[in-house]
């Protein structure tokens, strides 16, 4: 949801989504190209390449994974 948006707006959007998740116990599936922003706010993530899942796991593990940092 962040393509072309200012960084401050992106953070606000993700904070709203996180708040809804916490307060209303609603789950969200987001398709986001900015991997590090998405993983900062996610509990779990899937890394796709050419439409195929190449990696998945809890967001913290993906965010600190060297391959993810290098390629995404």
For residue range 38-72, what is the model confidence (pLDDT) as tens digits? 999 999 999 999 999 999 999 999 999 999 999 88
**CA dist., res. 25 & res. 20, Å (int):** 7
In a domain, 65, yes or no: yes
Number of domains the chain contains: 1
Classify burial at 38, counting beta carbons within 10 Å of its beta carbon; exposed 0-12, middle 13-18, buried 19 or more: buried
pTM summary value: 0.79
The pLDDT assigned to 72 comes to 84
pLDDT tens by residue, 21-37: 999 999 999 999 999 99
Give yes or no for residue 1 having a pLDDT over 90.
Answer: no
In a domain, 2, yes or no: no
In a domain, 1, yes or no: no
């Amino acid at each position: 949801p962040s393509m072309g948006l200012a960084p401050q707006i992106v953070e606000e959007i993700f904070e709203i989504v996180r708040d809804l998740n916490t307060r209303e116990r609603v789950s969200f599936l987001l398709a986001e190209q900015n991997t590090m922003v998405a993983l900062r706010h996610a509990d779990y993530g899937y890394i796709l390449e050419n439409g195929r899942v190449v990696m998945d796991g809890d967001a913290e593990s993906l965010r600190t994974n060297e391959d993810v940092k290098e390629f995404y």
